[in-house]
Amino acid sequence: MKKLCLLLLTLILVACGTDRHHFEIDGRLTNLNQGEFYVYSPDGGIEGLDTIKVEGGRFSYEIPCERECLLVVVFPNFSEQPVFAQPGKSIDIKGDASHLKELEITGSDDNELMTKFRHAIANASPPEIEKHVGLFVSDHAESPVGPYLVSKYLLRKPQPDYKQAYRLLLSLQSHQPRNAYLNRLLVQTKPLTEASFGTLPAFTATDVNGKHVSSASLSSAPVAVIYTWATWSYESIELQQRLNDRSNSADGKPQVLGICLDADRKECLKGLENRGIDWAIVCDERLFESPLVRKLGLTAVPDNLLLQHGRVVARGLSTDDLMNRLEKMH
């Protein structure tokens, strides 16, 4: 009888929530009846790119989860929402699909902290947002939200503040020594604090067509661009297209290398169809864990390096700034 009661209790608990080896997302959106979201993890919480189906404005997503990890949900308008996963947790996402910046996420402390932060900076200027990031890191040094905020608002801005970002990341590491995402950011950011610019690091790679690619050809060109893109990032696709338009119209074409951060080479190749891209595209299916991405200190999609005679003269430029710089260099 006791065994039967225990079994029934176990079944009830499982039915009422997520077990301690899984993480679950439940969501409800107005103004979106059917659709599909992408989701990926920059710290290996899931492999590759996954999808979340929306039916009748509702969606659910569950993954095996043995440790805390960061998930990034990519919506149809290509905006991103970080989700902080923990074993045994279940979170709720509610909102209006036409106002995705106002999503409410409840169910765990970290996701609720992220929601409060987004509300706090809703009308803030970039300098004010950076101050908010610093205060958040100081007040919540144990939260995995901190590394994400440093990456998004200090490392991904047009002119990144690598030294300040590195200082904040170091202060977080003493409280989160096992945070894989934080440790990856530290590895990427440290060399940028010492030499954000200078000689292009030597590398070799293989592009999606099986051809050999190296730093040598880029270093020998008067002007070169290395950029990241992904089929799920509209902003990066726009950058790629504008580079292509310029390349087709300019007398002095820059040497270009694209690094695709899709988790599936087939998706990358599909995204290149009928786009007329004639430069090398590398896609090693390892997202931000790509050795090439890490060696070059690229931290976002899109991101870029601008080279002149083999020296990095700018990095992390907006699309408009990159185009303007190219115009002046030819």
Tokens of 110: 């970290």
Look up the CATH number of the domain holding residue 323. Answer: 3.40.30.10
Cβ atoms of residues 149 and 165 within 8 Å? no
User: According to the 3-state scheme, what is the secondary structure of 203-228?
Assistant: CEEECCCCCEEEHHHHHHCCEEEEEE
Residue 46 domain boundaries: 22-120
Give the rounded distance of the alpha carbon of 65 from its chain centre.
20
Residue 227 and residue 163 share a domain? no
Could you say which of 74, 89, 120 is where a domain stops? 120
Are 190 and 173 in contact by the 8 Å Cβ rule? The answer is: no
Strand-pair category, 104-106 with 90-96: antiparallel
Please tell me whether residues 188 and 205 are part of one structural domain. Answer: no
**Which residue matches tokens 């900076």?**
121
Domain count, the chain: 3
Residues 46 and 28 in one domain: yes
Whether 54 and 151 share a structural domain: no
Instruction: Round to whole Å and give the CA distance between 190 and 106.
Output: 34
3-state secondary structure of 122: coil
Does residue 138 share a domain with residue 111?
no
What is the pLDDT, as a whole number, of residue 101? Answer: 81
169 φ/ψ angles, rounded to the nearest 5 degrees: -65, -40
Q: Domain check: are 212 and 318 in the same one?
A: yes
Give the per-residue pLDDT at 7: 47
| pLDDT in the model for residue 194 | 62
Contact, 247 vs 255, CB < 8 A? Answer: no
pLDDT at 287: 81
Mean pLDDT by 10 residues, the chain (330 residues): 49 56 96 90 84 95 94 85 95 92 93 95 93 97 96 82 91 94 86 71 92 92 94 89 85 88 90 90 88 85 91 88 87
Residue 189 sits in the same domain as residue 202: no
Strands 58-64 and 22-30: antiparallel
219 and 272 co-located in one domain: yes
User: What pLDDT is stored for residue 229 in this prediction?
Assistant: 94
Beta-bridge partners for 84: 70
Quote the pTM value.
0.71
171 within 8 A of 315, measured Cβ to Cβ: no
Calculate the alpha carbon distances from 181 to 171, 275, 301 in Å: 14, 33, 16
255-260 and 223-229 as β-strands: parallel, antiparallel, unpaired?
parallel
